[in-house]
Amino acid sequence: MTTMTEASVREFKMPDVGEGLTEAEILKWYVQPGDTVTDGQVVCEVETAKAAVELPIPYDGVVRALHFPEGTTVDVGMSIIAVDVAGGTGGTPAAEVPAQAVAQAPASPQAEPATTEAPAAAAPATEETKSVGSGRQPVLVGYGVAASSTKRRPRKGPQVTVAQVPDAVRTDLNGHGAPAVKERPLAKPPVRKLAKDLGVDLATVVPSGPDGIITREDVHAAAAPAAPAGTAAESVPQVPQVAQPQVMAPVTAAPAASYDTARETRVPVKGVRKATAAAMVGSAFTAPHVTEFVTIDVTRTLKLVEELKQDKDMQGLRVNPLLLIAKALLIAVKRNPEINASWDEAAQEIVVKHYVNLGIAAATPRGLLVPNIKDAHAKTLPQLAESLGELVSTAREGRTSPAAMQGGTVTITNVGVFGVDTGTPILNPGESAILAIGAIKLQPWVHKGKVKPRQVTTLALSFDHRLVDGELGSRVLADVAAILEQPKKLITWG
């Protein structure tokens, strides 16, 4: 058995695969301990709040250990796989934890990054120089395969402090004054947040969950005796934190005790759902929403759609009502540019955008995604149709990149595909308007003085009342309605 030195082991850390993301879930491992990997080879697939992404390894070697099993949510910057770049046979020294145990038992991955972090950083300078000078290109948003890409911004939370500071300092940071331990306690992110809110140091909690995982009940049990122990000097700063959350402790613990798996199913909130919930709550309780409605006759627009399908310039492109509605909104924004803006709370400024990144809300198996078409205002109708087709197909296949969902300025959501007449859409954070399209239905309508069956739909425009007055919002909605009722305005106004 070949013995591998610590200096030859490189720790590959979870990269930031999207701007501002802090964690990702490991969906699937494509390698196992003992496998040989090459620079650029995909080793795993992870899911973030924005997209599912494949991660390539940035160096050659033999897989020594997988620090986390599939289905684990890992913080950005934590080591997820160890690779022996010396090209060993994958054998493990007697003093090390077996790679198979690391891949299956959650306890080992926590200790492994802490013990191998320093040796990985102490790799010979020639390794680093080789990586930087190899001319590799970034393969993910926010991630490059050069050696410098492992540098991360300072992280918050006790787990980083425990892994990097001396034992003496860690003992002082211990919330209950118990001796600090070297292994990072095992707990899910919601449990860690609960512990932080209650002022409980997870290093002092006795776990009761499977494989040594700390549960919510463990945290509540640790918090109960911690409250009266306010005489200790180190516990004084935590009294304000413990006092309020302890009132709610029985409320959060009770449902878990009475949970009936035969009658209820509990789904962890993570990934796209977690990001969507945070964004919608933040938007709904930050921007004062106003929604206006208008019901219109779109019979002429539907006729134009059928004519465009026969146009040779539109052959092979997706032509549908959404295409003309998108074009109508772009023209309305051009006529009323103040609607294409955002509110900068920190600077107390209104930021007017001179470009339109048109977001299209898409329901996918992973949840609601809102990718956007960059510089949609500058596209011709065929170009817009092509971009819409690519956006929709990419979203349905689950291949939407994080970059495609950043920087939107105004959005369209088509609730009509579900047979819904209309809705009151919530703004995407950072945007000031969103247009909802209702179902197009054949209804009796007064046309040229007579009641006739016409194709009718209802539009709804929600806008941020901090920067969009009722007059501006009404003019934008009226312009969209006028174009869809009289499509020739696509030419006269466009």
The residues that are catalytic are: 465
User: Distance from CA of residue 342 to its chain's centroid?
Assistant: 21
User: Is 448:308 a contact under the CB 8 Å cutoff?
Assistant: no
**Of 154, 149, 20, which is closest to residue 429 (Cα–Cα)?**
20
Q: Enumerate the H helices of 122-188 as residue ranges.
A: 125-133, 158-164, 167-173
Phi, psi torsion values for 314, nearest 5 degrees: -110, 10
DSSP secondary structure, 434-463, as one string: EEEE---EEEEEEETTEEEEEEEEEEEEEE
**Of 358, 363, 331, 351, which is closest to residue 428 (Cα–Cα)?**
358
User: Is 145:60 a contact under the CB 8 Å cutoff?
Assistant: no
Parallel/antiparallel/unpaired status of strands 73-75 and 9-13: unpaired
Where in 348-426 does DSSP place strands (E)? 349-352, 358-360, 362-364, 367-369, 372-373, 410-414
Please list, in sequence order, all residues whose beta carbon lies within 8 angstroms of the beta carbon of residue 60, skipping any fewer than 6 positions away: 37, 38, 39, 85, 87
